[in-house]
Structure 1
């Protein structure tokens, strides 16, 4: 199984596509700004190159980790020391990959694992931070919802794109 760099880039970019819709004033943008205590004037003062550039780097880092979460075969590859050692692996590994190499490699299965990751990883992190920052439940729901959707899409793209 080869590393799909294009799937990782596409998954990282998906965070921008969803973000442009999710944080649009007609969707959750106005509510999010109000709950965050943030104004349009404040957002216009931000360094957009820095914000979007670093956001893509961080989204890429998340997407880079997702194969280990959504592709079951990554565990088997990790056990032999990585894809470079596949040719010299024991016959049991080669037999396993021959039998199960593409098992559960679907967009639907990746979406399931991505969604579970969003619910059990992103949501608690956002809510813990939100509680200590004394943010509203609306704020936490908007933020967590965004990441649940993003991780679902990332998981789908990365697992299903072979």
Structure 2
């Protein structure tokens, strides 16, 4: 098994978090807010430090799993990108889709959220490709 870099794990999670910050603010913030039915007031009253903190912890968990995958398989940089995007497109997005089918969520919301996971995983994969 190869080495696992704590710095790369953290930077991978930071990259995913940064994608989310951009995705759910300037790119799709208002559309996402409409689709989930949250008002500005509801969002303003949320405990954002807790939400952001837990989100980052989940992204650290994802980054840690990706680090283990790469340590076990030692892929090329291209392989790292393929695996990372593949996780987003073929594991994460379908899992969201299954939940959204039962929750009767819109296809638009699915596209926003699934897109976030695919692009976020691409950003995380790029960190691994650049760092390792």
TM-score, normalised via structure 1 length: 0.75
- The 1:31/1:139 distance shift into structure 2, 3 A limit, reads same
By how many angstroms is 1:112 displaced? 1.6
By how many angstroms is 1:61 displaced? 0.5
By how many angstroms is 1:159 displaced? 4.1
Residue in structure 1 matched with residue 9 of structure 2 by the alignment: 8
Residue in structure 2 matched with residue 74 of structure 1 by the alignment: 72
Whichever structure has more helix as a proportion of its residues is 2
Runs of 4+ in 1 over 4 A off after TM superposition: none
State the alpha-carbon separation in 2 of the partners of residues 139 and 13 from structure 1. 24
State the alpha-carbon separation in 2 of the partners of residues 151 and 46 from structure 1. 26
Give the secondary-structure state (helix, strand or coil) at the position aligned to 1:3.
coil
Listed as ranges, the matches of 1:17-96 within 5 Å are 17-24=18-25, 26-69=26-69, 71=70, 74-75=72-73
Residue in structure 2 matched with residue 85 of structure 1 by the alignment: none
TM-score, normalised via structure 2 length: 0.90
Whose radius of gyration is greater, 1 or 2?
A: 1
Q: For each residue in 1:32-67, what CA deviation from the matched residue of structure 2 results, as whole angstroms up to 9, or x when unmatched?
A: 111111111111111112111111111100100012
Unmatched runs of 5 consecutive residues or more in structure 1: 76-101
Residue in structure 2 matched with residue 105 of structure 1 by the alignment: 76
By how many angstroms is 1:15 displaced? 2.1
State the alpha-carbon separation in 2 of the partners of residues 64 and 140 from structure 1. 25
1:67, 1:159 within 8 Å by CA — same for their partners in 2? no
